Homo-oligomer: A and B are copies of this chain.
Amino acid sequence: MKSLTRRDLLGLAGIAAGSWAFSSCVREQWASPTAKKPHLPWDFARLDPDIAADRAYQDYYQGHCMYGVFKSIVGQLAEQPGEPYKSFPFDMMKYGAGGVAGWGSLCGGLNGGAAVIGLFAATQDEARLLTHELFRWYEATALPIYVPKKPKLAVEMPKSVSNSVLCHVSVSSWCKVSGHHAFGKEHNERCARLTADTAKMTVQILDGSLQGQFAGTHTLSPETKSCKSCHARGGELENSLGEMSCTACHFKGGLMHPNL
The answer, yes or no, to whether A42 is at the interface (CB within 8 Å) is yes
How many copies altogether? 2
Task: From known contacts A183-B238, A233-B183, infer whether A106 and B105 are also in contact, taking CB-CB under 8 Å.
Answer: yes
Q: Which residues in B have their C-beta under 8 angstroms from that of A204?
A: none
Q: How many residues of A contact B (CB 8 A)?
A: 71
Determine whether A144 belongs to the interface, using a CB cutoff of 8 Å to chain B: no
User: Could you give 23 example pairs across A and B, Cβ below 8 Å?
Assistant: A38-B86, A39-B91, A42-B89, A93-B118, A96-B114, A99-B241, A99-B242, A100-B135, A101-B127, A102-B128, A103-B106, A103-B242, A105-B106, A105-B242, A111-B111, A168-B244, A176-B239, A181-B239, A182-B233, A183-B238, A227-B257, A250-B257, A251-B260
Given known contacts A38-B86, A95-B127, A99-B242, what 17 new A-B pairs fall within 8 Å (CB)? A38-B90, A40-B89, A94-B124, A94-B127, A98-B242, A99-B241, A100-B111, A101-B132, A102-B243, A103-B135, A103-B242, A105-B105, A168-B244, A171-B242, A181-B239, A182-B240, A254-B254
